[in-house]
Structure 1
């Protein structure tokens, strides 16, 4: 028997689609429509100025998405892009876009500004080589060639120091050139060569500098008998060098390569110091450990490769320079650098017997092994031998009867006359006192002269001692 089952579908639980019902009540929609219509009527009644203001407000209003983007952008600090000059290729367009360079005369830049400038490697020239008539070569250095040139606008003669661009790829050479430019831009002294401007071209970097018509001190000595100077001339030149170095040390600048070749003389034998490529600019109490300079002029602390301060190393080089001027050769001489450095380390040098006691004492004061025992440049300028030049002028201005002693007929000793002035005698008093053989000034003069003769006789073991250990 088969059983049949009938399935009855219950439609009461069937899910039917529900009609869309607005979440907003009908009355609310009607109210919104009325407000829109009323606002449109009010807008149409506004004046033209009101319309412009409304348009501005609507223009400044942003959609919701744009407001979010705007907040993200303005929440960050503005980004400024550095202008690149790669596409300009150092042409006239580049020079036109660069700011004008301050004139080099009357510089007031501080040492701190110089230190910040040296820390950057960029060399920017603002001059134009077309403003000059370039002449013949007048000198050559390790990295540069120097030519004479004429500035067209005023016919000023200058020296044009030119570096080849492809030779400045080496970082050390580039730093030396940059350092020289930065140092010269803040120095302004009559015994230091002046930098006029820097000229940048695709193949060369030119330094337009003050023209010095004479020659180097090295060339000048080669023309002199025995390659040395008489003490009055050596005193004049050395004093000018000291005045220039005193000026640089006062501005925390140390030259670090003082030598004959880096001192020029003009037509009147006035000093001009050049080549500040090795110069440093920082407080003197800061020490460095850098092996640089010319071997014959190097201080013991440089040869020993220990930390040293700049000024005492310059002082040592000044002592070597003075020795060469009055003696005609170097105080430290050897067949090779190893032997040379050994002599410098032990301060082994001798002073010829022909050298006066005044300059002998000054050399011994300078060439001391211990840097802290060397005098400063200011102290050197007060040395008796350097000031005796003023006394020599006094003697030249004395009447003929007073230029020589009335009793012996010998010329007065300028160094002793200066000693009398240190005792308080004025020029007029000396002119009167030295006429009388029994005056206090005359008796004191004779006493000082005897003391000087006795001191010269003993003269450091007959001038054969090895100086520099004191």
Structure 2
């Protein structure tokens, strides 16, 4: 679907220089065959604690659902609550200092996000050699950040060819489109409202995602959107420019191809336009047989409008896919757009108001006391917002239990669609202060996949 070309990695401003994360350990034993200090708690917990199965902290590892060069993702079950999670396991010894800083920044950003349409981070476990990120598992599909680490985190530049349209893992919005075809505008609108709400929330917190694409949009059991993979995200400050050019070429804004510095939100807004087009048409607005051809098409800003696309949908697309970033719409303006509010009369899309954390749920606290935690450590962990086992247990108790005790909450039909141990990287590239240029051998892009009756009209945005 896209190509990943990595040039010399560079650091944005606002790099995080933290040396450790989460709850550190003094030694690195990797996944052990018995859970750490769980004896008393397991006796009173709602889940058993079999010694013959591998564990990390309070989590029983079920199976590998993704693997990269220096990281892998495991489907796991929290022993005390029975809730399923995805654990991203990163080998820190393979990362250079710059890559570690970017990893720390990703974790720091995820800790600050609390939106129903963004994958939630529950716990950070760190040893001398390994970092474990315990995250929400989107039970209708793949876990978050299956790319293990964005390619800009890798110490050596490398090139990966394009991924065929039908060979990506199930469970993402991308795979839904592959399986079911384009969405009706009513369905696309419902999904897109959630996406806009989540991205606007990030922008309000001065965070830009920089890798928005269909592959990073997961679906939960209720078919709600979960935005994943904040590996390219960064903080931005109005008036200061970012100069790292990253993301997926088919979703990348023209200014990134030109090597121009940018504020931040405008590159996400362009990507949202590409996503909306993809939801409604089942194909990309810009593609090419190679990166050079793709670049030329993006810089021309021309795309075909299918005959079935409504005038209102075409109108909102024109507000996103504007070549001049200064003239691109803002998400505040989009929230008032006619198309996005059709069928939601009286419920105009509004900025998400983050609720105060409920750290006083007596029912959950009583359950945790029964597990062996003390009220003092519960209160201290929650009020200090530590991403440790105590906070994770409290948060997971507030989540629904999965109906399938052994199958992974639908994972057999989702995550298992990818061969175990195989991870296909898709579509990231990074450069610094230089226009993106083709690199390496490219696989031809998939065909547009349009209805042959689609109108041939083209539009160019100012």
TM-score bracket for this pair, using the shorter chain length = 0.5 to 0.7
Could you tell me which residue of structure 1 aligns to residue 178 of structure 2? 222
Matches of 1:336 and 1:375, distance apart in 2: 29
> What SS is found at the alignment partner of 2:459?
coil
Judged with a 3 Å threshold, the aligned counterparts in structure 2 of structure 1 residues 243 and 143 are, in CA distance, closer, same or farther, namely farther
> What SS is found at the alignment partner of 2:295?
helix
Matches of 1:392 and 1:333, distance apart in 2: 38
> What SS is found at the alignment partner of 1:389?
coil
Matches of 1:143 and 1:292, distance apart in 2: 20
| Maintained 8 Å contact 1:347/1:469 | yes
2:138 aligned to 202, 207, 212, which one?
212
Matches of 2:278 and 2:68, distance apart in 1: 22
Q: Which runs of 5+ in 2 are unaligned?
A: 1-12, 25-35, 37-55, 142-171, 348-453
Could you tell me which residue of structure 1 aligns to residue 375 of structure 2? none
> What SS is found at the alignment partner of 2:259?
coil
> What SS is found at the alignment partner of 2:131?
strand
Judged with a 3 Å threshold, the aligned counterparts in structure 2 of structure 1 residues 186 and 239 are, in CA distance, closer, same or farther, namely same
- 1:119 to partner: Cα distance: 2.6
| Maintained 8 Å contact 2:16/2:102 | no
- 1:238 to partner: Cα distance: 0.8
Matches of 1:323 and 1:369, distance apart in 2: 16
Matches of 2:304 and 2:98, distance apart in 1: 37
Matches of 1:468 and 1:123, distance apart in 2: 48
Q: Per-residue CA shift, 1:28-59, capped at 9, x if unaligned?
A: xxxxxxxxxxxxxxxxxxxxxxxxxxxxxxxx
Q: Per-residue CA shift, 1:401-447, capped at 9, x if unaligned?
A: xxxxxxxxxxxxxxxxxxxxxxxxxxxxxxxxxxxxxxxxxxxxxxx
1:196 equivalent to 2:196? Answer: no
Flag the structure with more relative contact order, 1 or 2, with Cα contacts below 8 A and sequence separation at least 6. 2
Q: Per-residue CA shift, 1:271-296, capped at 9, x if unaligned?
A: 11111111111213321222211111
Q: Per-residue CA shift, 1:373-398, capped at 9, x if unaligned?
A: 111112112111110022599xxxxx
> What SS is found at the alignment partner of 1:349?
strand
Q: Per-residue CA shift, 1:192-220, capped at 9, x if unaligned?
A: 11111111134421101112101211122
| Maintained 8 Å contact 1:284/1:311 | no
Q: Which runs of 5+ in 1 are unaligned?
A: 1-114, 394-461
1:466 equivalent to 2:458? Answer: yes
Judged with a 3 Å threshold, the aligned counterparts in structure 2 of structure 1 residues 253 and 180 are, in CA distance, closer, same or farther, namely same
> What SS is found at the alignment partner of 1:123?
coil
> What SS is found at the alignment partner of 2:343?
helix
1:159 aligned to 81, 86, 89, which one?
86
1:327 aligned to 274, 278, 281, which one?
281
Could you tell me which residue of structure 2 aligns to residue 263 of structure 1? 217
| Maintained 8 Å contact 1:235/1:389 | no
Matches of 2:69 and 2:278, distance apart in 1: 23
- 1:303 to partner: Cα distance: 0.5
More helix by share: 1
Question: What TM-score, normalized by structure 1, do the two folds share?
Answer: 0.57
Moved more, 287-296 or 238-247: 287-296
Matches of 1:139 and 1:279, distance apart in 2: 21
1:120 aligned to 10, 17, 41, which one?
17
Q: Per-residue CA shift, 1:86-123, capped at 9, x if unaligned?
A: xxxxxxxxxxxxxxxxxxxxxxxxxxxxx97x431413
| Maintained 8 Å contact 1:160/1:207 | yes
1:138 equivalent to 2:65? Answer: yes
Could you tell me which residue of structure 2 aligns to residue 288 of structure 1? 242
> What SS is found at the alignment partner of 2:73?
strand
| TM alignment of 1:19-418, pairs within 5 A | 118-126=15-23, 129-140=56-67, 143-168=70-95, 170-215=96-141, 216-224=172-180, 227-391=181-345
| Maintained 8 Å contact 2:318/2:461 | no
| Maintained 8 Å contact 1:254/1:279 | yes
Matches of 2:70 and 2:292, distance apart in 1: 26
| Maintained 8 Å contact 1:229/1:326 | yes
Matches of 2:236 and 2:346, distance apart in 1: 39
Matches of 1:139 and 1:233, distance apart in 2: 29
- 1:252 to partner: Cα distance: 0.4
- 1:172 to partner: Cα distance: 4.3
- 1:463 to partner: Cα distance: 5.2
